Structure 1
Amino acid sequence: MKKLLKTKQKEFLLFLEEIRGYSDFTIKSYDGSLNEAFLHIEAMEEKGHILLNLMPYRIKIASLNPKTISKKLSAVRSFAEYLNDNGVRVVLKADESIKIAKTLPKPIAHEHIVEALLSSELEERVVVTMLYTLGLRISELSSLEIQAVSKEWVRVIGKGNKQRDVPLLNSSKKLLDEYLSKYKRNKFVFEKNGEKLSENSLRYMVIKVFRRVGLKVSPHQLRHSFASQLLNAHAPIADVSELLGHSSMATTQIYTKLGSALKQQNYSMAHPLCGIKES
């Protein structure tokens, strides 16, 4: 059992490097977390799957702060998800999540996105443009069908199979038409061998595009950028929430906090009294 997990761990780290595009530091962090975890996790074979009991490990790290515990457990969950996606069925026991304070998302500046688009190939440009101008999740982009795209709207199937319609910019429609005329697709906007392109393939494409301009960017950051741009331009939060496919406006409100933080920063830089030290 331990030999199998160790072999799969090496494959997982290679996957993080080559497909997910993670930095050496992040990969070493995952490796260290998994090595530590498997000193304490109980691993046993059950009928048709491997059971990983996290409780002994959770007891070991219980004194650490919640954010650290969450990161350590996240490494194990990511490894288990990788195994399940690659033919090794894994069940986690004692896998309750740790509550930690929400952090603000990190949107990408518009000028950086434009710079990355200028150095991208056609398919890459379409992927980044669709994520940035439609605010899609990577799973939604992977599943996007050609017939869901009209002249002015895109019908998106989100979480829980909920449908929403998102406006399609003229420039985005022209770019998409150019792409579809060059690459003949049967059903999905992004395909390979007749099947929809995987989320990992699309994610790696985004990583490559921004790596060329010296940035590390995830697809979800482009979704953050979409939301932040709209809210900073005074779009109603209810409209933005609907465009993002959020089930609650409370989820969207984290972006308003980001806008407030930027306003405070700009104020501090601009107001003449902010540079005067108190005596």
Structure 2
Amino acid sequence: MLRLPEVRLHDESRAARRGPRCRRRSRGAPRGRGDLPYLRSRHRAAGGGDGAPGAAPCRRTAGPGGDRPAGTTVRWRARWLEVRDAWRLAIRRTDRGPRHSDDEGRKGRLRTCLEPTRRRRIRRRQRRSVTATATPPAALDRFLGTLAARDASEHTQRAYRTAVGTYLAWLHERGVDWRAPARADLRAYLARLTTINARSSVAQRLAAIRAFHRFAARDGLAPGDPWGAIATPRLPRRLPRVLEVDQVDRLMAAIDEELVHAEDGGTEVAVALALRDRAVIETAYAAGLRISELAAADLGSLDLRRGEVRVLGKGRKERIGLLGGPARSALAAYLDEARGVLLAQRRGSGPDPAEIFLNHRGEAIGVRGLRLRIDRLCRIAGLPEGVSPHTLRHSFATHLLDGGADLRVVQELLGHESLATTQVYTHVSPARLRSAYRAAHPRAAREAVSDLLP
């Protein structure tokens, strides 16, 4: 049962000494100002009312107190508004924790009567949370099943499972139904992502969440896509970092020095690792391979006689990378002299690994191991900060365009599905832009005016 604070709206001792406030009106008679206490003081000041025109205002019966003092209705309404505002304020602040207030006594009196309301709100929130978490695991499993059916890679499935699972867990903690979250909830989650992740990570996670909601709407698991009306931050278009030709030569020279030091005073395994590193760098730069494609390349996909290596890229698309003379020589030296030495270090049972590149334990080297070795070689060569294994791929495409290769050929060698992805390298290649400008612009080939002056 709700308890309201005790409020005295009039002075009982004064009211007992006075007569009736208003006379009783007959049935069917129009209502005037004197029937009930009117609460709008501006009508009193204007002399108007909501009854019949010309109705006389009600006066108190003369008594010891005389007529009603002016402003009594205003004070009565002020006290009523004070109670109403205190009630609404207490309801709004029920679940927000303690706050400082100048009127602690009023809040203390209202806390007891608002306790049942607070408990009902908690029960409703718990019921919503139970309903909201009844289906997300099943919906997420079905969504991941569709990704597997579309032959998505394991990396894509793991990234989507992490992004969508974190998002659903966050909604569950807030007691929000994942099928129809409010716009405020989505903006709050977007703000959380932007504060703890980089822009590229935010874009990747939002892409996974949008794909999940589109799948749920298409399969009838949700009424629609709530993220369709939410504007998300765009990624800045930055040009890729590339190496100059002399920087690539410095990198190859640093690898040769490592090989010489290993042959002079190193072990047999150190020499094998140096030969492997040279083959890795030459292959990555010659064919423009991604680091994942380089780690997954096996012996059956390599044809040194024709200078080709078959790799499986993004979306499980197969393509052929071409190998030049230095790359073929480095791979031949590694396969003849180094791979057997590394394979002899293997202690595990089972068939030998089919991958081309092995680590010091005789197992297939992974993406992380390749990245660490390439980063170490870049530091030894004194290359600028920020050079990564993918920089060799960018340099491969840019140097091909500088040499006059067609954009479609570069697209095929890189394995890009869209030509727009390859066109970014045309902005990176200043030599290609300069040659195209000189060949196309009518005044580009003319001599400067300063050169013609004596």
TM over 0.5: yes
Match of 2:199 among 66, 70, 76: 70
Cα displacement (A) at 1:103: 1.2
Match of 1:108 among 243, 251, 254: 243
Match of 1:207 among 375, 396, 402: 375
Alignment of 1:116-135 (within 5 A): 116-120=251-255, 121-135=274-288
Residue 131 of structure 1 aligns to a residue whose secondary structure is: helix
1:220/1:61 CA distance change after superposition, 3 Å: closer
Letter in 2 for 1:177: A
Cα displacement (A) at 1:99: 2.2
Root-mean-square deviation (CA, aligned residues, Å) is 3.9
Residue 154 of structure 1 aligns to a residue whose secondary structure is: strand
1:274/1:256 CA distance change after superposition, 3 Å: farther
Q: Which moved more, 1:183-192 or 1:144-153?
A: 183-192
Cα displacement (A) at 1:55: 5.3
Measure the CA separation in 2 of the matches of 1:274 and 1:160: 55
Q: Does 1:221 align with 2:353?
A: no
Higher relative contact order (CA 8 A, sep 6+): 1
Render the CA deviation track for 1:161-197: whole Å, top value 9, x for unaligned: 2111122112211110111122225411112445421
Match of 1:137 among 268, 279, 290: 290
Measure the CA separation in 2 of the matches of 1:102 and 1:196: 36
Q: Which consecutive residues of structure 2, in runs of 5 or more, have no partner in the other structure?
A: 1-168, 174-184, 207-226, 256-273, 344-352, 438-445
Structure-1 residue corresponding to 2:188: 56
Measure the CA separation in 2 of the matches of 1:263 and 1:195: 45
Letter in 1 for 2:425: Y
Alignment of 1:243-254 (within 5 A): 243-254=413-424
Measure the CA separation in 1 of the matches of 2:292 and 2:396: 16
Letter in 2 for 1:211: R
Measure the CA separation in 2 of the matches of 1:57 and 1:203: 33
Structure-1 residue corresponding to 2:339: 183
Residue 189 of structure 1 aligns to a residue whose secondary structure is: coil
Bigger fraction of residues in strand: 1
Contact persistence 1:144–1:188 (CA under 8 A): yes
Render the CA deviation track for 1:73-92: whole Å, top value 9, x for unaligned: 48999xxxxxxxxxxxxxxx
Q: Identical aligned pairs, as a percentage?
A: 32
Contact persistence 2:289–2:321 (CA under 8 A): no
Letter in 2 for 1:100: L
Q: Does 1:230 align with 2:385?
A: no
Cα displacement (A) at 1:98: 3.7
Contact persistence 2:251–2:378 (CA under 8 A): yes
1:261/1:177 CA distance change after superposition, 3 Å: closer
Structure-1 residue corresponding to 2:166: none
Structure-1 residue corresponding to 2:65: none
Cα displacement (A) at 1:264: 5.2
1:145/1:60 CA distance change after superposition, 3 Å: closer
Cα displacement (A) at 1:145: 0.5
Render the CA deviation track for 1:133-170: whole Å, top value 9, x for unaligned: 11001110010101111022111111122111122112
Alignment of 1:70-89 (within 5 A): 70=199, 73=202
Say how many residue pairs are matched: 207
Measure the CA separation in 1 of the matches of 2:418 and 2:190: 32
Residue 311 of structure 2 aligns to a residue whose secondary structure is: strand
Letter in 1 for 2:239: L
